[in-house]
A and B are shown apart, each in its own frame.
Chain A
Amino acid sequence: MTATQDSHDEVPAPERAPVLEAGPGPGEDAYSASDEEEIAARLEALGYLE
């Protein structure tokens, strides 16, 4: 059995969705060039990238 959000008194209906950005947020890059190579190699081996 499932309940919709409206049926839960303790869970108010969501407000209107805020405008979202896409892509990385501000700040330093998550990866150095060598980090990126490491992640890419690992994911390629797993079949995630190709």
Chain B
Amino acid sequence: MERRYRARRRLGSCCSGTARGGRAILGSGGVPTTATTGTRGRRARRVALIGLDCGTPELLFERYADDMPTLGRLRRQALWGSLESTAPPLSIPAWLSMLTGRTPGELGVYGFRNRTDHGYGGLAFATSRWVRVPRVWDLLGQAGRDSVLIGVPGTYPPSPLRGSMVTCFMTPSTDAQFTFPADLREEVQRVTGGYTIDVAGFRSEDKARVAQQIFDMTEQRFALARHLATTRPWDFLAVADMGPDRLHHGFWGACDPGHPRYRPGNAYEHVVRDYYRALDRHLAGLLEVLPDDTTVAIASDHGARPMLGGFCLNEWLVREGLLVLAEPPAGPTPIGKAAIDWSRTTAWGDGGFYGRLFLNVEGREPLGTVPRRDYESVREHIASRIERLPDPVGRPLGNRVLRPGELYPEVRGAAPDLIVYFGDLRWRAVGSLGLGHGLYTSENDTGPDDANHSEQGVLVLAGEGLSHGRQEGLSIYDVAPTLQALLGLPAAAGQRGRVLG
């Protein structure tokens, strides 16, 4: 039985107006009725990108496919499949890459926080100001055409564009300037009844409250998308919903019998299914108001998979003698606050859903110890040791160790020397020291978390002139050049990927 979540009060107007070009002609359930077998020559002049952060092919295309009739109908008329994410598969680099056609290496963005130089302290959040190349809407604006953006990661602080923007979950609060133009803010607050940037107090055992917030946030995103789609001129509409990501991190273990935390009959066993049912209704509501010449793209930046535990990267480096502490931590201590003897340290790491390992290189870091001539041999030694690490019961952990120079055609900024997927992303990287767990944690050090990211997201692309059916080998780098081609824009200089059709 579907668990009922309290519906928010009616949000804004659903179908009160029309975007330039007139009322949508959509089939039952909100599926575009435009032919998908037409000639290739015609270009759609309008594209709606519906972003589902952490949208996972195993859920959207398999487990909950029957619970999502709108998506199913759309998919039957679409080119669709798994979409290979960036390395690492993390929201900020992935969304930036999706909408620029550039790799994280070219963008110099490897995570939410990045080293700003090769010192020991400079970590800064990657914001819209880190993006030095045009995104799809920038190119469209240069062509004198309009965009509407809602919640697209990497858009805070807002920057001028031809059109309207509501910034992303990296916005500190609605006290900050979170719209462009600035006077859109009051309208957003009015239409949504108070805009929700993100789920508050996520790491809580009050699961009912967290679930309700996720349901509400998604409802609100789609209500705002309907409102702006029908009250603003646009050629490119992009709305990104963080709901799936928050849901997976909070509730995967409650719903997946394969997850170690799963308990049959638990109160949240069907919350993910119920969420996707609700999401499908919101999707139908949005498709219903899109003009008939709209090509619809549903895309995610990465997928999700069960998280089995955490590996304490810096604890291991200490044990290996590669990270030397000036004094032992008194308790749980983030690596950035640990007393490190840099003059005797070879390497340290940052944690999160994947591990970043940095070498302390002579002439690069202030107190570097690894001679440049030994860089490769030291790096390979550490990589080899990490690849052979066992799990808590002695079986191979199955770690993957990646080298930025092999992943990206260019490596900019202060990139990690190694990127580590513990247990091929089934385990997270724990960067803190002094946790008292040994090398393994069954939960991450800041509380429960059910899911890690996976490298496969989703893409569903439906519109006139596009082929149908499942396609293999889709890449996140294909999205920007494809959207641009659909909008009649040429590929930007240096853009990766190919045009799907």
- A residues lining the B interface (CB < 8 Å): 1-5, 7-8, 10-18, 20-25, 27, 30-31, 34-36, 38-40, 42-50
Q: Closest chain A residue to B176 by CB distance?
A: A35
Known contacts A10-B485, A36-B125: A50-B501 contact under CB 8 Å = no
Contacts of A20 on B, CB cut-off 8 Å?
102, 106-108, 132-133, 410, 412
Give chain B nearest CB distance to A22 CB in angstroms: 3
The 10 A-B pairs with the shortest beta carbon distances in the complex, nearest first, are: A22-B108, A17-B494, A22-B413, A22-B412, A35-B172, A45-B203, A15-B493, A30-B127, A50-B351, A24-B129
- B residues lining the A interface (CB < 8 Å): 43, 79, 90-91, 102, 106-109, 112-114, 116, 124-125, 127-130, 132-133, 156-157, 170, 172-173, 176, 198-203, 246, 249, 334, 351-353, 410, 412-413, 428-432, 444-447, 449, 467, 471, 473, 478, 481, 484-485, 488, 490-495, 498-501
- A3, A14, A25, A31: which contacts B500 (Cβ < 8 A)? A3
Cα-based distance from A31 to B444 in the complex (angstroms): 27
The reply to whether A25 and B132 form a contact with Cβ atoms under 8 Å apart is yes
The reply to whether A50 and B444 form a contact with Cβ atoms under 8 Å apart is yes
Chain A interface mostly: loop
The reply to whether A30 and B125 form a contact with Cβ atoms under 8 Å apart is yes
The reply to whether B170 and A49 form a contact with Cβ atoms under 8 Å apart is no
Give chain A nearest CB distance to B122 CB in angstroms: 10
The reply to whether B431 and A50 form a contact with Cβ atoms under 8 Å apart is yes
Q: List 12 A-B contacts (CB under 8 A).
A: A10-B488, A22-B412, A23-B413, A30-B125, A30-B128, A31-B125, A38-B173, A39-B172, A42-B202, A47-B249, A48-B353, A50-B431
Q: Closest chain B residue to A42 by CB distance?
A: B198
Known contacts A24-B124, A25-B132: A8-B172 contact under CB 8 Å = no
The reply to whether A50 and B432 form a contact with Cβ atoms under 8 Å apart is yes
Give chain A nearest CB distance to B9 CB in angstroms: 25
Give chain B nearest CB distance to A47 CB in angstroms: 4
Known contacts A2-B471, A20-B133, A47-B449: A13-B410 contact under CB 8 Å = no
